[in-house]
Amino acid sequence: MDTSTVEGNSGAHPNEIDRQPIPRAEDEQLQYKIQLLLHINSILLARVIQMANSAGSDGNGNAGIPEQLQPLASQYLKRVHTNLQCISQINQGAKNVKPLILDPPQLLVQQPAQDILAKLYLLMTRVFEIW
């Protein structure tokens, strides 16, 4: 067994040990931001798909999103796009970037306070303000 590698690790410079948690914490924060944005995007896309599917299930046989829901679907897709841009900037090493649209989209449900998307947008706003 080669003990030189074990001893070499235990004899690391104190400055190296002190510096390691900071990048790890930053990496964890960036990963959390990315995961949050991806989760929000998956909900936004699921709702657009739900709008399209509900239009096709009304018996008319029309594919696509009903005309009255198209502006809402467009809002959702714009948010997906800006979130993906933010993820790209984070992955390219940009610091202190945030999505261009931080307010939640108009919701289909009657009680927005109970909607998960509104809560996730609030969380996203706080996370990007603090970190």
Q: What is the mean pLDDT of the chain?
A: 82
Instruction: Enumerate residues 6+ apart whose C-beta is below 8 A from 56.
Output: 62, 63, 64
Q: Residue 6 — pLDDT band, cuts 50, 70, 90?
A: very low
What's phi and psi for 62, nearest 5 deg? Answer: -80, 130
pLDDT surpasses 60 at 9: no
Q: pLDDT tens across 32-74, in order?
A: 999 999 999 999 999 999 999 987 665 555 568 899 999 999 9
Domain ranges of the chain: 22-130
Q: pLDDT tens across 15-30, in order?
A: 444 444 457 899 999 9
The residue length of the chain stands at: 131
**Alpha-helical runs (H) found in 20-69:** 21-56
pLDDT of residue 99: 96
